[in-house]
Amino acid sequence: MVMPQPFRSWVEVSRSQIAGNFRAVREITGPGVEIAPVVKADAYRHGAVEVSRVLVNEGARWLCVGNVEEGCALREAGIGARILVMADFLPSERAALLEFGLTPVIHTLADIAELDRLAAQREQIVPYHLKIDSGMGRLGTRASASEVAAAILGNSWARLEGLMTHFASAADYSSSQTPEQIERFRSICDGVAAAGIHFDYVHLSSSIPIAYCRKDAWGTMVRPGHAIYGYVSPSRGEAPRQLLNVKPALAWKAAILAVKDIPQGWLVGYGGMYRASRPMRIAVLAAGYADGIPHRLSNRGRVIAGGKFAPIIGAVSMDLTTIDISQTPGLQPGDAVTLLGTEGGLSIDAQQMARTAGTISYGVLCGIHARVKRIYV
Ligand SMILES: *Cc1c(COP(=O)(O)O)cnc(C)c1O
C-alpha cells in the first residue's frame, strides 16, 4: 500500500545499489585497473556528495567531475579522493582548481605551458592528465607524439600523470571508429613513452567498453558513469555479450494532488490535447516538465500508479501532469505514483522513458531537476 508522502516529487537513491554497481565494475575490470567513477552533473542527479561518499567508502581513490565548481563542492563536503576535472576550465577557474587540489585534464599543448607557469608561481608540483583527441573531434589535442612529448618535457612544475582519450561510438560494433581511436591513442602513448616520459595512468573507457569487455580499451584506469547508476546503453552491430551486472539506483516518485472523474468527450490540459474517449478517472500529479518529466511524454508516456501502468494524458505542464487512473480508481490525493522505478512487479527505467520521449537515458536522468527532493535509502 502506498503511503501519503510529504513531498510533491522526490527520488529515492539506493546507496547499496550504487555500491553494488561499483563492485560490479570492479569484478569485471579486476584489481589491476583503477576505477574513477564519474560523478559529474551532481552524479547524474543522484546527488554527487552522497554518491561520492558511498564510492569512496567502497574504495574509490579517484572521482571524475565535469567542472571546477563540482570539484570544489566535493572538497567542501570533505571528500578527500583525487578528483579529475574532465570538461576543461576557464581562466577564471584556474585559481580554485589549484587551491582545492583538483587534477585538471589539459586539452591543448599551450595549456600545459600555462599550467606550468601557474604551478611555478605557487611553487607547487601540479599533476595533470592530457587528453588526446583520437577521433572524437571534441576536446583534446590532435598534435603528433613528438609535439606532445616536446610540450611535456618543456616544463618543470606541471607533471604529466595520465594520458586519456574518449570514444565517440563505443557501443557501435558495426563501426571501425573505436578500434581506430584505440590505435591512434596507443601510438601517441607509445611515442610519449619512447621519449622517456613516465606517466602513471592511461585511460580511455567510460561505461560501455567496460560492460562489453573491450579489454584493449581499459588501460590502467576506467571512467564509468552511467554504469555506476545502473545503466548500460544497448549496443549496435555484432557486440559481445554485456557482462556487467548493474541495476538502476534511483526511483522517482510524485504525489497525487487531485483525483477526479471526467465525462466522455472532456478535454484535458493545454491545447485540449487529450479528449476522453469514455468516462474516466484521472489524477493530477505534483510534477511536470520543470521537475524533469520530458514534455515529449505528453499524451504518450506512462507512469505506474497503484501497481498498474497509467497513461499520461494531455500535455505535461510545468508543475503538473495528468494521468488516467481508471484501472486503479482507489487512488487518493497524497498517494505516490512511480515515474521511474519498480512498483507492483512493473518497472519503468530511464532508457524506456527516454525511448518514448525521443531522447537518451542520460538526458532523462540529468533532467531531474534540483527541486525534486532526494532521499537516500
Ligand atoms: C561523462 C564521461 C564519462 C562517463 O561516461 P558514461 O557513459 O556515463 O560511463 C567518461 N569519460 C568522459 C570524458 C566523460 O565526459
**Measured distance CA(266)–CA(185) in Å, rounded:** 61
Phi, psi of 116 (to 5 degrees): -60, -40
Claim to verify: residue 217 and residue 266 sit in the same structural domain: no
Atom of ligand 1 nearest to the CA of 207: 9
Instruction: Out of 86, 103, 366, give the residue to mutate to test ligand 1, the one with the largest number of ligand atoms within 8 Å of its CB.
Output: 86
Residue 356 lies in a domain: yes
| CB contact at 8 A, 355 and 322 | no
Residue 269 lies in a domain: yes
Tens-level pLDDT at each residue, the chain (377 residues):
455 568 999 999 999 999 999 999 999 999 999 999 999 999 999 999 999 999 999 999 999 999 999 999 999 999 999 999 999 999 999 999 999 999 999 999 999 999 999 999 999 999 999 999 999 999 999 999 999 999 999 899 999 999 999 999 999 999 999 999 999 999 999 999 999 999 999 999 999 999 999 999 999 999 999 999 999 999 999 999 999 999 999 999 999 999 999 999 999 999 999 999 999 999 999 999 999 999 999 999 999 999 999 999 999 999 999 999 999 999 999 999 999 999 999 999 999 999 999 999 999 999 999 999 999 99
Residue 62 lies in a domain: yes
| Nearest-CA residue for atom 3 of ligand 1 | 206
Atom of ligand 1 nearest to the CA of 166: 13
**Measured distance CA(186)–CA(288) in Å, rounded:** 47
Claim to verify: residue 262 and residue 349 sit in the same structural domain: yes
Claim to verify: residue 185 and residue 330 sit in the same structural domain: no
Claim to verify: residue 176 and residue 293 sit in the same structural domain: no
Residue 18 lies in a domain: no
Residue 274 lies in a domain: yes
**Could you give the 3-state DSSP secondary structure of residue 327?**
coil
Closest to 252 (Cα-Cα) out of 174, 327, 182, 347: 347
Does 289 participate in catalysis according to the annotation?
A: no
| Nearest-CA residue for atom 10 of ligand 1 | 206
In 242-290, where do the E strands start and end? 250-262, 267-268, 274-275, 280-285
Claim to verify: residue 209 and residue 310 sit in the same structural domain: no
Does 40 participate in catalysis according to the annotation?
A: yes
Claim to verify: residue 213 and residue 104 sit in the same structural domain: yes
Claim to verify: residue 225 and residue 328 sit in the same structural domain: no
**CATH code of residue 112:** 3.20.20.10
Q: How many CB atoms lie within 10 A of CB 277?
A: 9
At 106, which helix (H) or strand (E)?
strand 103-106
Which is the catalytic residue, given 40, 44, 231, 362? 40
Claim to verify: residue 118 and residue 197 sit in the same structural domain: yes
Sign of torsion over alpha carbons 204, 39, 244, 294: negative
Residue 115 lies in a domain: yes
204 Cα: distance to centroid of ligand 1 (angstroms): 10
Which is the catalytic residue, given 201, 212, 270, 274? 270
Claim to verify: residue 193 and residue 122 sit in the same structural domain: yes
Claim to verify: residue 225 and residue 257 sit in the same structural domain: no
Residue 238 lies in a domain: no
- How many domains, in total, are found in the chain? 2
Q: Which domain holds residue 37?
A: 32-229
Claim to verify: residue 153 and residue 213 sit in the same structural domain: yes
Claim to verify: residue 163 and residue 297 sit in the same structural domain: no
**CATH code of residue 285:** 2.40.37.10
| Nearest-CA residue for atom 4 of ligand 1 | 225
Which residue ranges have their beta carbon within 6 Å of ligand 1?
38, 40, 86, 166, 206-207, 223-227
Residue 1 lies in a domain: no
Atom of ligand 1 nearest to the CA of 66: 15
Query: Which pTM does this prediction carry?
Result: 0.96
